[in-house]
Amino acid sequence: MKKAIIDLGTNTFNLLIGEVENGQLNRLRTEKEAVLLGMNGINHGTIAEEAWLRGLQTLIRFK
Protein backbone atom coordinates (compact mmCIF):
# COMPACT_ATOMS: atom_id res chain seq x y z
CA MET A 1 0.00 0.00 0.00
CA LYS A 2 1.44 3.40 -1.00
CA LYS A 3 1.53 6.21 1.57
CA ALA A 4 2.57 9.86 1.41
CA ILE A 5 3.72 12.13 4.22
CA ILE A 6 4.20 15.89 3.96
CA ASP A 7 6.12 17.71 6.69
CA LEU A 8 5.24 21.42 6.66
CA GLY A 9 8.01 23.36 8.35
CA THR A 10 8.64 27.07 8.63
CA ASN A 11 11.45 26.99 6.08
CA THR A 12 10.98 23.78 4.13
CA PHE A 13 8.26 21.37 3.07
CA ASN A 14 9.32 17.72 2.85
CA LEU A 15 7.58 14.99 0.89
CA LEU A 16 8.03 11.26 1.40
CA ILE A 17 6.21 8.72 -0.74
CA GLY A 18 6.66 5.09 0.17
CA GLU A 19 5.14 1.67 -0.06
CA VAL A 20 4.53 -0.46 3.01
CA GLU A 21 5.19 -4.16 2.51
CA ASN A 22 5.38 -6.67 5.35
CA GLY A 23 5.66 -3.85 7.88
CA GLN A 24 8.63 -2.28 6.08
CA LEU A 25 8.64 1.11 4.35
CA ASN A 26 10.25 1.23 0.92
CA ARG A 27 10.95 4.83 -0.05
CA LEU A 28 9.79 5.55 -3.57
CA ARG A 29 10.38 9.30 -3.65
CA THR A 30 11.54 12.10 -1.39
CA GLU A 31 11.57 15.83 -2.08
CA LYS A 32 12.51 18.91 -0.12
CA GLU A 33 11.39 22.40 -1.11
CA ALA A 34 12.44 25.68 0.51
CA VAL A 35 9.26 27.73 1.02
CA LEU A 36 10.45 30.22 3.65
CA LEU A 37 7.03 30.65 5.24
CA GLY A 38 8.49 32.86 7.95
CA MET A 39 9.97 35.43 5.59
CA ASN A 40 8.51 38.94 6.08
CA GLY A 41 5.88 37.93 8.60
CA ILE A 42 6.89 35.48 11.31
CA ASN A 43 8.03 38.25 13.68
CA HIS A 44 4.50 39.68 13.43
CA GLY A 45 2.77 36.33 13.92
CA THR A 46 1.57 36.12 10.31
CA ILE A 47 2.46 34.47 7.03
CA ALA A 48 3.11 37.00 4.26
CA GLU A 49 1.08 36.62 1.07
CA GLU A 50 4.19 35.80 -1.00
CA ALA A 51 5.17 33.07 1.47
CA TRP A 52 1.61 31.71 1.48
CA LEU A 53 1.71 31.46 -2.31
CA ARG A 54 5.11 29.69 -2.26
CA GLY A 55 3.71 27.15 0.18
CA LEU A 56 0.55 26.63 -1.84
CA GLN A 57 2.47 26.21 -5.09
CA THR A 58 4.71 23.63 -3.44
CA LEU A 59 1.72 21.64 -2.16
CA ILE A 60 0.15 21.73 -5.63
CA ARG A 61 3.41 20.42 -7.12
CA PHE A 62 3.64 17.69 -4.47
CA LYS A 63 0.09 16.63 -5.33
Q: How many residues does the chain have?
A: 63
Nearest alpha carbon to residue 51 among 6, 4, 12, 20: 12
C-beta of residue 42 within 8 angstroms of C-beta of residue 10: yes
Cβ atoms within 10 A of the Cβ of 24, count?
8
In angstroms, rounded to a whole number, what is the distance separating the alpha carbons of residues 57 and 31? 14
Tens-digit pLDDT profile for the chain (63 aa)?
Answer: 889 999 999 999 999 999 999 988 899 999 999 999 888 877 788 889 999 999 999 999 999
Query: What is the pTM (predicted TM-score) of this model?
Result: 0.81
| Fold assignment, 2-62 | Nucleotidyltransferase; domain 5 (3.30.420)
* Domain segments of the chain as ranges: 2-62
